[in-house]
Structure 1
Amino acid sequence: MHEPTSDVRPFEAHATSADLDDLRARLAAARLPEAETVHRPAPDPRRWDQGVPLDDLVELVSYWHTGYDWRSFEQRLNRIGQFRATIGDLGIHFLHRRSTRTDAVPLILTHGWPGSVAEFIDIIDELADPKEASKPAFHVVVPSLPGFGYSDKPTTTGWGTERIAAAWLELMQQLGYPRFLAHGGDWGGVVTTILGGRFPDSVLGIHTTVAQAPPDLSTDGLTAAERTWTEETHDFWHQRVAYAKQQATRPQTIGYSLVDSPVGLLAWILDKFAEWTDTTDSPLEAIPRDRILDDVTLYWLTRTGASSARIYYESHNSLDPDLRVDVPSAITTYPKHIEKYPRPWAQQRYRQIVRWRTPMAGGHFPSLEVPGFFLDDLRDSLTAILAAR
């Protein structure tokens, strides 16, 4: 394994007291609309039919204002190990946890929107140095997408998923990892797919929770359950993507609200946690409120509401329909995921599927919703990939 280059620099997160005071002041002075006109007692997912219910938002804003501790999360990031490296003309932030094991394999984990590196901090230590010696170990790298978190905000167009995948390859090479495994979900799943498809000499294999099939495939021969998946995915793309269309066409316009109003930012992101999490009513049934606020506060303090939205402008519907992935691939499709493609369709893109899982529980944020299962499934999937080589 090569030594990392000198361009990699240590980084520590430390929000100023002024920024935290400003956040609390804005939360205290928030102007809220009247309540929604859908009135149903909890628990009932239909309470969210018009968006985030007022009572739910007021309760979470109150906790954010008086009870949430950003410094605790900030310290966790710093303990894991944070760094920045310049890739092309952009500074990229990443967490990096080297394993103490000599048999450890490099692994890059990529988040999506409205996620962040916060999705993975509860599993990084266990991936790097598992408590059980029989478990595989990894050198874990978790970058922040361009325009997200502590990565730089692109000042020109062009930073779509293809360029991000190429940047991740360069980052891993800078860290001394010429060959590595990759995992991702949401936009991170797209980046991971591109890594496996474009760079098979460097990528040992991939695991993803979103395996987008090529377009225009027939439903002939699919089982009833597989047809249901295609209908649900079709419904998502045609009925529930107003947020994506807004960010793909007018990211700057929505960005003003997301950078200026913490309550607006929270509502915009919480709505997705609610709709995409496997629960019967509120995302807080499955995800601790501190984990959601870690993510939202990271967006707030780094002022990345607009810059993160631009990944939709750069990459919406841009995955190359002819891209094929020939490296070993493991795919896990959670039941409440927003995009679910049947295996016969996925196999048209992912040519060597070595593991296929459809768990009984979980949604779009499995590392937060079902962290124990997610960790075991990820390790087992990566083990199957390595065994297939």
Structure 2
Amino acid sequence: MTKKAENKNPNKKNQNSSSHIVSKLIFISAALIGLLSFYIYNIITIPPEVPQFDLNQWWGPYPIDLNRDLSIRPFTIEFTDVIINDLRERLLHRREFTPPLEDAGFTYGFNSNFLTQVLDYWQNKYNFKDREQFLNRYNHFKTNIQGLDIHFVHVKPQVSNHIHVIPLLMLHGWPGSFREFYEMIVKLARPHPSYNFVFELIIPSLPGFGYSEAPVRPGFGPAEMAVVIRNLMRRIGHERYYVHGGDAGHIVGSVMATLFQDEVLGFHTNMPVLMYHPLATAYTLLGSIWPSLIVEKELESRLYPLSQHFQRHLEESGYIHIQATKPDTIGAALTDSPTGLAAYILEKFSTWTNYEYKKAADGKLLMKYSLTHLLDNVMIYWATNSITTSMRLYSEACSKRNLALKLDQIPTNVPTWGIKFKHELIFQPDSLLRLKYKNYLHSTIVEDGGHFAALEMPDLLADDVFEAVDTFMEFHSGKKAEQERNLPKDETAKNIYEFTALNVYGKNVKLDEYKGHVLVIVDASNQRSIANSDYEQLNELLYKYGNSKGLRILLFPSQHNVYINLYNFSVKNHVEFDIFQKVETNGENAHPLWKFLKQKKTTSGDFSKCIVDSKGVPIEWFSGNLDPLDLDGFLDGYFNSDIEDY
């Protein structure tokens, strides 16, 4: 009996040992799964750092032209006889088309029977000179930004003084152009009965589109494009502004609202989507099981069932794959053939306006648009030979380099407003959009309309822009009131070091960084202060006392034309002025710094220049009639005196 019992003990030991090993393996596996889950969760939920970009990166041909013209030059669109005659010849001698399949409509692409009608109209009835005049009804300009000549339409409304004029940057998409906003311009640049403001409109051709030059080397994606457009706004004279965009314009506008959060006052989009956000994808998949978790019941059909929408996206996204991989191949075909260009572009205006239109033999193109308006847009691509360069944006946007930036995962505090048209290509609920847009204020839901809303429903879209910007201003006034409660009071401040001001790059500068420096602070707002001769004299003072004595010159331009003059002078002459954003220098709304300077003034009369000593205390005030070089005597006496602590 004892021997048998002893023989059983090894088995029990083995069993216990095996159970212990299994327990250990389970524990280790659970720990590893937990750690892996935590790692994945962190990757998904912790936002990436904001990438840094060279704001002056050169995209033009080498060698760099150091003497290039940086002015803003008037530009006129011209459809020359050479362009017109060549186009008509190509249309006249086009080959016979393959007949469409019976009852195919647009389901196989552009119906060749209807295409014949479109091309005949373009060749014989499209009035080239009349459309040229139509496109030139607003002022066009070009200016060189980072080596690229950038084209833009600039509309400045003429209104009474009690109507505020607000800068609005409008960004088109592909295969659109600046032309798609023309029907909105009339409404946006005129007073609205419900609001006390109108818009100064800046409508660029995106680089590589239309009349804007394309980069000559790879790597020019949405972020680089956003930098160029931001620099364009600064060249024009706007440090802070609102942005509207759709399609590619949405992507570029979103990047601007991410990288330049101190400059973009509000972002309005008619295609509010996050293209690359892992949490948005995960929640969308989860919502297919439980839709009410992420989307309102009345909008559920715009997103679910996923299989139905996925099938539509798959069918309509073939162009993305071509343009993201071989844009120059398809570009060669479209560049050589106006027929191919018209079919390729206008097919999008059918199906992307309403997916059901593809069943019609004419794609129902004329239900929402006129052929003249549609061909205006095609004509811009043809006349500028820009279809290839426009499509390269897809290749850059889908590149590993651009995707690695994870810009859709970086939050922005810029107030954002979306308008969602029923037949837009992609729909995302507000719950997902707030993963990025932390101040996503509102979505306007429209039970009609598609991808080309500016051309299809311009009045409705313009009204929405007004309402959005009005809400943005209310948002900022609330934030401003909160900030002002924490600002130093000009009545109690002892020196300028207690104040902050935004510089031209949108950075909030604490003026205590100027401790130990003598300063000349200039209000560059009056007509006497904007002459280049004044800047040259200030530059002489800086040259004389800057390196040797530590003099700094701070300029506060308060008018757009002043800023443009100052910017151009600084670039040409490599001047190291410290330039700040536009501020009010007089009245109740004056910046606290300027209220402080005025309060400390011991003499009567107004001033535009002030000397501040090395302790941050203003000591001398001078009127705008005084030449900057006349400050030399005061500065020389100051620097050569035995003033304590300098």
- Tell me the TM-score range normalised by the shorter chain: over 0.9
**2:65 alignment partner in structure 1:** none
- 1:96 equivalent in alignment to 2:154: yes
**2:430 alignment partner in structure 1:** 343
Measured in 1, the distance between the counterparts of 2:82 and 2:95 equals 22
- 1:182 equivalent in alignment to 2:236: no
**1:299 alignment partner in structure 2:** 381
**2:117 alignment partner in structure 1:** 59
- Counterpart of 2:210 (choices 146, 149, 155) is 149
- 1:222 equivalent in alignment to 2:286: no
| Offset, 1:247 | 0.8
Q: Which moved more, 1:321-330 or 1:84-93?
A: 321-330
Structural RMSD (CA) = 1.9
Q: Secondary structure of 1:48's match?
A: coil
Q: Could you give the per-residue CA deviations for residues 114-167 of structure 1, whole angstroms, max 9, x where no partner exists?
A: 000010012223312236484630110000011111111221112211011111
Which residues of 2 match residues 313-328 of structure 1 at below 5 A? 313-316=395-398, 318=403, 320-328=407-415
**1:36 alignment partner in structure 2:** 100
Q: Which moved more, 1:198-207 or 1:316-325?
A: 316-325
Q: Which moved more, 1:147-156 or 1:278-287?
A: 278-287
Q: Secondary structure of 1:123's match?
A: helix
Q: Which moved more, 1:379-388 or 1:247-256?
A: 379-388
Q: Could you give the per-residue CA deviations for residues 252-297 of structure 1, whole angstroms, max 9, x where no partner exists?
A: 1001111110000000001111110137441221111111100001
Measured in 2, the distance between the counterparts of 1:212 and 1:177 equals 27
Measured in 2, the distance between the counterparts of 1:66 and 1:154 equals 35
Which residues of 2 match residues 233-248 of structure 1 at below 5 A? 234-248=310-324
The 8 Å contact of residues 236 and 339 in structure 1, kept in 2 or not, is answered as: no
Q: Could you give the per-residue CA deviations for residues 336-367 of structure 1, whole angstroms, max 9, x where no partner exists?
A: 11111111111111111222111011100011
Measured in 1, the distance between the counterparts of 2:398 and 2:99 equals 33
Measured in 2, the distance between the counterparts of 1:112 and 1:206 equals 16
**1:277 alignment partner in structure 2:** 353
The 8 Å contact of residues 302 and 427 in structure 2, kept in 1 or not, is answered as: no
Q: Could you give the per-residue CA deviations for residues 85-115 of structure 1, whole angstroms, max 9, x where no partner exists?
A: 1110111100001122451111100001000
The 8 Å contact of residues 172 and 180 in structure 2, kept in 1 or not, is answered as: yes
Q: Secondary structure of 1:47's match?
A: coil
Which residues of 2 match residues 114-133 of structure 1 at below 5 A? 114-130=175-191, 132=193
* 1:182–1:236 Cα change, 3 Å: farther
Q: Secondary structure of 1:385's match?
A: helix
Runs of 5+ in structure 1 lacking a partner?
Answer: 41-45
The 8 Å contact of residues 233 and 338 in structure 1, kept in 2 or not, is answered as: no
Q: Could you give the per-residue CA deviations for residues 6-50 of structure 1, whole angstroms, max 9, x where no partner exists?
A: 62111111121011011011111111431222x22xxxxx61110
Q: Which moved more, 1:134-143 or 1:246-255?
A: 134-143
* 1:130–1:28 Cα change, 3 Å: farther
**2:220 alignment partner in structure 1:** 159
The 8 Å contact of residues 85 and 92 in structure 1, kept in 2 or not, is answered as: yes
Q: Secondary structure of 1:182's match?
A: strand
| Offset, 1:323 | 2.1
**2:608 alignment partner in structure 1:** none
State the AA in 2 paired with 1:265: L
Measured in 2, the distance between the counterparts of 1:347 and 1:115 equals 28
Measured in 2, the distance between the counterparts of 1:388 and 1:69 equals 47
Q: Could you give the per-residue CA deviations for residues 41-75 of structure 1, whole angstroms, max 9, x where no partner exists?
A: xxxxx611100111111111111111012322322
Q: Secondary structure of 1:104's match?
A: strand
| Offset, 1:186 | 0.2
* 1:69–1:316 Cα change, 3 Å: farther
**2:229 alignment partner in structure 1:** 168
**2:134 alignment partner in structure 1:** 76
TM-score by length of 2: 0.56
Q: Secondary structure of 1:333's match?
A: strand
- 1:356 equivalent in alignment to 2:443: yes
**1:43 alignment partner in structure 2:** none
Measured in 1, the distance between the counterparts of 2:136 and 2:123 equals 23
Measured in 2, the distance between the counterparts of 1:126 and 1:217 equals 40
| Offset, 1:234 | 3.6
Structure with greater Cα Rg: 2
Measured in 2, the distance between the counterparts of 1:273 and 1:24 equals 23
Measured in 2, the distance between the counterparts of 1:345 and 1:54 equals 41
**2:331 alignment partner in structure 1:** 255
Measured in 2, the distance between the counterparts of 1:67 and 1:212 equals 39
* 1:6–1:251 Cα change, 3 Å: closer
The 8 Å contact of residues 80 and 96 in structure 1, kept in 2 or not, is answered as: yes
TM-score by length of 1: 0.92
Measured in 2, the distance between the counterparts of 1:26 and 1:366 equals 32
The 8 Å contact of residues 210 and 331 in structure 1, kept in 2 or not, is answered as: yes
The 8 Å contact of residues 130 and 137 in structure 1, kept in 2 or not, is answered as: yes
Q: Secondary structure of 1:115's match?
A: coil
| Offset, 1:386 | 1.8
- 1:23 equivalent in alignment to 2:110: no
State the AA in 2 paired with 1:199: F
| Offset, 1:325 | 2.2
| Number of residue pairs aligned between Structure 1 and Structure 2 | 379
Q: Which moved more, 1:291-300 or 1:155-164?
A: 155-164
Runs of 5+ in structure 2 lacking a partner?
Answer: 1-68, 288-292, 477-646
Measured in 1, the distance between the counterparts of 2:381 and 2:261 equals 33
The 8 Å contact of residues 70 and 143 in structure 2, kept in 1 or not, is answered as: no
Measured in 2, the distance between the counterparts of 1:6 and 1:126 equals 32
State the AA in 1 paired with 2:371: R
The 8 Å contact of residues 226 and 342 in structure 1, kept in 2 or not, is answered as: no
Measured in 1, the distance between the counterparts of 2:329 and 2:314 equals 22
